[in-house]
Each structure stands twice: as C-alpha cells, then as structure tokens.
C-alpha cells in the first residue's frame, strides 16, 4: 500500500492525472482507507477555492471599457 507521504505528495504536485493506472488505483485505494489523507485533499481543495474566489474579485476590477481602451492604445 502507498504511504501517506507518497499519496499527499502526488496530490499536491498535481502529478496524479499523469500517473500510471496502477498508481492512480493505489491512491484511490489509500484515500478510501485513510481519513487523514482525505482531510489533506480537502485542505488542498479549500486552498484552491479560496484562491479562485480571490481571483474572481480581480476580474471585476478593470472597467468595462478595459479591452476597448487597450485596443485603441495598441492601434495608435
């Protein structure tokens, strides 16, 4: 069975989708058995959600004419 360190590292590096089928199955099996690694995965998800929510506030910052103004400046 894979260790918590191996599983959490694979999840954190984002390498899991590119890992072999055997490896992905091993991670799935480990997660089914280990609540600590499931908690770790939830933490990563929460970090991602908060970062995307912060980023969404940046989207609202530029005025509606942002793109149009930029094109005007580029065409000068």
- 40 and 8 in contact (C-beta within 8 Å)? yes
- Can you tell me which residue has the tokens 């918590």? 4
Binding residues for another protein, total number by CB under 8 A: 39
Tokens at residue 13, please? 């590096």
- Quickly count: other Cβ atoms within 10 Å of residue 20's Cβ: 8
Binding to another protein by CB under 8 A, coded x per residue (else -) over 8-47, reads: -x--xxxx--x-----------------xx-xx-xxx-xx
Nearer to another protein among residue 3 and residue 32 (C-beta): 3
For another protein, the closer CB: 22 or 76: 76
């Amino acid at each position: 069975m894979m260790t918590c360190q191996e599983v959490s590292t694979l999840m954190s590096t984002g390498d899991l989708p590119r890992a072999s089928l055997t490896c992905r199955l091993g991670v799935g099996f480990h997660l089914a058995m280990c609540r600590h690694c499931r908690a770790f995965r939830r933490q990563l998800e929460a970090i991602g959600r908060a970062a995307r929510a912060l980023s969404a506030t940046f989207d609202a910052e530029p005025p509606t004419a942002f793109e149009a103004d930029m094109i005007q400046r580029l065409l000068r």
